[in-house]
Amino acid sequence: MQVNQSGADRAEFVKSMHQQVQKTLETKAEKNRVKLNRGRKEVIFQPVNWVWLHMRPKRFPAERKSKLAPRGDGPFRVLEKINDNAYKLELPGEFKVSPTFNISDLAPYLEDDEEVLRTEPSQGGGDVVVTQAEVPQVHKGPTTRSGARNLRNGFTKAIQEMIDQGLKQLLIQEMSGLKIEDPTGSKEVQDQTGPIQFSSIVHNRTGLIISTFDLGSESISNPTNQFASASEI
């Protein structure tokens, strides 16, 4: 049986070239992996861990149909580790989706992520559990009318919750030194010599107006000068 020597040499050359190309691609991929993972922390979950789930619109259309809807949910327990990049979660039945998710959609759950309950001693003894009011964050830059409206509503709700919980003094301390915009310029809210009480909270088109008055002896003797200041946020 005759063998074409040139054909065998060509096959060996092609085989050797494929091996070299494969080695070059693997080396290049390893360099890219190291470069892309620079500054990142490898996160690996175990079946005993709890995680937060990022709900993508394509996978959770009902939960993400509104732009104001939460983008995440949880925490959920990890049932199974398929590999370092895929995990199976214990999801409630109403989601009706596959419980397997990529690591990019998961975030580690920490106990501090839950809403903090503050315990303060009351005058009558015992502990009173007070839920912290959620105060909206003000970001720099322009905003839309709906954004400004939501911001005003958030401040109104937070202040009303603190007043309902009997935290007027805490609210006064939080507002002490607060700079607010006034038609006459930037005005600074300072503590007065006498106790300050909130007489009214008015929400109109121009903003949130908080009227305060001093309960000192002078204010009681002179009821016509009851409203000492009105601050607009």
Full residue range of the structural domain in which residue 98 is found: 50-113
- 30 assigned to some structural domain: no
- pLDDT per residue over 212-225, tens digit each? 444 444 443 444 44
- 78 assigned to some structural domain: yes
The alpha carbon of 58 is separated from its chain's Cα centroid by a whole number of angstroms, namely 22
Average the pLDDT over 91-110 and give the result: 89
- 84 assigned to some structural domain: yes
- 179 assigned to some structural domain: yes
Average the pLDDT over 27-33 and give the result: 93
Task: Work out the widest C-alpha separation in the chain, in whole angstroms.
Answer: 125
Shared-domain flag, residues 140 and 212? yes
- State the chain's mean pLDDT as an integer: 70
Shared-domain flag, residues 178 and 220? yes
More confident residue, 121 or 104: 104
pLDDT classification of 132: cutoffs 50, 70, 90: low
More confident residue, 204 or 37: 37
Average the pLDDT over 72-84 and give the result: 91
| Beta-bridge partner residues of 50 | 77
Average the pLDDT over 114-128 and give the result: 44
User: What is the count of structural domains for the chain?
Assistant: 2
With a pLDDT cut of 70, the percent of the chain lying above it is: 55
CB-CB contact of 54 with 63 (8 Å): no
Interior/surface letters 59-77, b for 16+ CB within 10 angstroms, e for the rest:
ebeebeeeeeeeeeebbbe
Shared-domain flag, residues 100 and 163? no
Shared-domain flag, residues 108 and 56? yes
3-state secondary structure 173-200: HHHCCCEEEECCEEEECCCCCCCEEEEE
To the question of pTM greater than 0.75 for the whole model, the response is no
Shared-domain flag, residues 108 and 190? no
Q: Which of 157, 155, 194 is nearest to 175 (CA)?
A: 155
Q: In this structure, what DSSP letter does residue 77 have?
A: E
- pLDDT per residue over 161-209, tens digit each? 777 766 666 666 665 544 444 444 444 444 443 444 444 444 444 444 4
